[in-house]
Every structure is written in structure tokens, then in C-alpha cells.
């Protein structure tokens, strides 16, 4: 029987890198994506992390998504680029959008890059974290297949269209990522498995009653945050991604996974051109301290960054079942996962 494993960062990176290369990704792309998985997993939210890896390997090896990387430039202005990534891995695609956006911002102060024909991007967190580390204020948004209902609805018809943002401060950064439904499907599934309670304003059963359990909500419709307001934000997300990029939007991003029809956008400001990076970081540091002063115990990003520091020292724990699953993938892909080499 395979045991649960606490993987140090270097081993974690090597495992994810090896598996993605085994599934057909280039060495450079696999290494980039492994770093994103470390960033997402080490913050310990329990979903939108390495648990998605087997699914990605299946998508790549079955040909549901494209393991080759050959993006085509569709539109270009000094501050804007739109790329068609041809069904490539979402993580590789959104990271590419990030790099292009930072490059544009370095030239004009502000950069927007969108990618179309992309896939699920894991979470916005890793991208905005990289942006913050490089001294940029960064906003990332994705459209998704239907994850929420229209306000008061009983079935999922609209993407919950997650976003994230990050602003560097003197020590770390302030930022967050979340979807525009009261709960993401990943979080709701987590609550389902733990049989946790949910607030009754989160959505409706398939019969239109307020859902009382995660199971009822799963089978019904999750409301957008604030009803019409969250729905409007999801529509803004579609505009910023698919509508602007000429990609797929709304029900064109079909469940279960919206293969090859997701769009992401990255918008970034080069703080070094706006009065200097250290001045902006100092302002953000004071802003951060004032948020605490207003009574906010955890400023967005605090918990995740603490978990990341801990993981950096101690590694991340993978359950026996999950380790076995990865070893089975390694065998299938004819690669080997080792520890401590």
C-alpha cells in the first residue's frame, strides 16, 4: 500500500513537471506549470490545486485538449494583445497572457492580454502572485462553463467567472481570487464531502426552494453574489475575456469542462512607471495596516501567504490515495516519481 507523503517543494515541482512532460508538454512549459501548481497548492485551500492534475493529464493524453503550444497573435496595439492558443493547457495559456501583459505594461505603463481557445486555468492566484513579485498591480479574469444560476434560478446556466488581483506591498502582497457565485463548484464539492452546512441565501434546490444542504445546492442552482450584482460582474467577466477577445462566451463554454473554449485576460500596471515601485509598495503597506486597523483580522491574501510560508519550510501533504493515483499516472506515462534526489 502506498503511504501518504509530505512533499518538499523541489520534489513537488519535479513530480508535476515530470507528469506534465510525460503527458506531452515541452520541458519549458511543464516547468512553468509546475511552479503554478506549487503556488496554488501550497496555500492549502483544499481545491483548485494539485487535485486537478490527474484530470489535466487525462485531458492531454486523450487529446481533449492540445499538448502542443503554438499561439497565434490575433490583434495587437501598443497596450493590447489578443492571442488564439488553439486549445492548449489553460495554465500554460494564462501564464503566457501574464507574461505578454507584463511586457506590454513595461512599454506603455499598462498591458492587457487575452487568450482565446484556452482551457480551465486552475485559479487566478498563481498569476497575480507572480505579477506582484515582479512589481506589477495585476488583475486576472477567466470565463468558465456554467457554474451558477441566474439570480433565483434552479439550474446552472452562467459561468461563475473567477477573478483575482494582487498589489505588492513591502512585505508580501495584498490580493485574492474568487468566483462570482456564492460558492465555486470546487468549494461546494468540498462542503458536500464534509457534509457542512451552507447559508440558505446561497441558492435554490432543483425545485426552487432555498437549498439547505450542499447536496441540495449541488443539484440546484447557486446564486451569483448579491443576485443581479454578481450576475452583472460575471457578464463583465465575459466582456473582459471572451467578448473582447472574439472567443467563446456564455453557453458556448459547455459543461462538463468547456474544453478549448475558455478565455482568460491579464491586465497589469507597471508600478515602477507610476511614481516608483517602492513608493507604491509603501502606500500598499500602509493601506494593509489600515485595513487591519478597521477591524479586519485577515486582509485578503494573509491566510494563503501564511500557508505558503509554512509549506515552503515543511512541504505539502498528499493523501495515500492521491499519491497512488499519481504513481498510476506515472506508470501509464512511463515516467518515474522520486523523492529527495
Give residues in contact with a copy of itself (CB under 8 A): 74-75, 77-80, 82, 107-112, 137, 139, 150, 153, 157-158, 165, 167, 174, 176, 178, 180, 182, 199, 201, 225-226, 228-233, 235-236, 238-239, 243-244, 246, 249-251, 267, 269-270, 273-275, 279-280, 283-284, 287, 290-291, 293-296, 299-300
Q: For a copy of itself, which is the closer residue by CB, 217 or 330?
A: 217
- Closest distance to a copy of itself from the beta carbon of 247 (Å): 10
**In sequence order, which ranges of the chain are alpha helices (DSSP H)?**
9-22, 27-41, 53-62, 90-108, 125-133, 185-193, 214-218, 228-238, 244-245, 277-293, 302-314, 320-333
Distance CA 95, CA 200 (A): 37
- Closest distance to a copy of itself from the beta carbon of 327 (Å): 37
Q: For a copy of itself, which is the closer residue by CB, 35 or 177?
A: 177
Q: For a copy of itself, which is the closer residue by CB, 61 or 272?
A: 272
- Closest distance to a copy of itself from the beta carbon of 91 (Å): 23
Q: For a copy of itself, which is the closer residue by CB, 239 or 257?
A: 239
Q: For a copy of itself, which is the closer residue by CB, 38 or 165?
A: 165
9-22 and 320-333 are packed helices; what angle lies between their axes, rounded to 10 degrees? 40
Residue 36: how many other CB atoms lie within 10 Å: 23
Distance CA 264, CA 243 (A): 11
Closest among 70, 99, 73 to 87, alpha carbons compared: 70
How many alpha carbons lie under 13 Å from residue 101 in its C-beta half-sphere? 28
Alpha carbon 197 to its chain's center: 25
- Closest distance to a copy of itself from the beta carbon of 46 (Å): 16
Distance CA 32, CA 49 (A): 15
Q: For a copy of itself, which is the closer residue by CB, 57 or 149?
A: 149
- Closest distance to a copy of itself from the beta carbon of 100 (Å): 13
Amino acid at each position: 500500500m502506498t503511504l501518504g507523503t509530505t512533499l518538499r517543494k523541489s520534489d513537488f515541482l519535479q513530480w508535476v513537471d515530470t507528469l506534465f512532460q510525460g503527458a506531452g508538454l515541452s520541458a519549458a512549459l511543464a516547468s512553468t506549470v509546475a511552479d503554478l501548481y506549487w503556488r496554488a497548492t501550497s496555500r492549502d485551500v483544499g481545491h483548485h490545486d494539485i487535485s486537478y492534475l490527474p484530470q489535466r493529464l487525462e485531458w492531454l493524453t486523450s487529446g481533449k485538449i492540445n499538448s502542443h503550444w503554438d499561439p497565434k497573435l490575433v490583434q495587437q496595439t501598443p497596450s493590447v494583445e489578443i492571442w488564439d492558443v488553439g486549445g492548449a493547457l489553460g495554465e500554460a495559456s494564462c501564464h503566457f497572457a501574464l507574461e505578454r501583459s507584463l511586457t506590454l505594461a513595461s512599454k506603455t505603463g499598462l498591458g492587457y492580454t487575452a487568450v482565446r481557445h484556452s482551457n480551465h486555468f486552475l485559479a487566478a492566484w498563481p498569476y497575480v502572485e507572480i505579477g506582484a513579485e515582479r512589481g506589477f498591480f495585476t488583475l486576472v479574469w477567466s470565463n468558465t462553463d456554467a457554474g451558477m444560476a441566474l439570480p433565483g434560478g434552479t439550474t446552472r446556466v452562467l459561468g461563475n467567472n473567477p477573478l483575482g488581483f494582487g498589489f505588492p506591498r513591502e512585505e508580501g502582497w495584498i490580493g485574492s481570487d474568487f468566483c462570482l457565485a456564492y460558492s465555486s463548484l470546487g468549494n461546494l464539492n468540498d462542503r458536500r464531502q464534509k457534509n457542512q452546512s451552507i447559508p440558505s441565501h446561497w441558492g435554490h434546490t432543483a425545485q426552487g426552494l432555498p437549498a439547505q444542504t450542499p447536496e441540495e445546492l449541488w443539484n440546484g442552482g447557486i446564486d451569483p453574489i448579491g443576485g443581479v450584482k454578481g450576475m452583472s460582474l460575471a457578464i463583465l467577466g465575459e466582456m473582459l475575456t471572451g467578448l473582447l477577445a472574439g472567443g467563446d462566451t456564455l453557453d458556448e463554454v459547455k459543461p462538463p469542462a468547456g474544453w478549448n473554449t475558455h478565455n482568460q485576460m491579464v491586465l497589469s500596471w507597471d508600478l515602477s512607471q507610476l511614481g516608483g515601485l517602492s513608493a507604491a509598495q509603501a502606500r500598499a503597506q500602509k493601506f494593509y495596516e489600515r485595513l487591519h486597523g478597521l477591524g479586519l483580522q485577515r486582509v485578503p491574501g494573509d491566510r494563503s501567504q501564511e500557508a505558503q510560508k509554512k509549506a515552503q519550510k515543511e512541504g505539502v501533504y498528499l493523501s495515500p490515495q492521491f499519491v497512488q493515483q499519481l504513481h498510476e499516472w506515472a506508470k501509464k506515462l512511463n515516467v518515474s516519481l522520486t523523492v529527495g534526489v
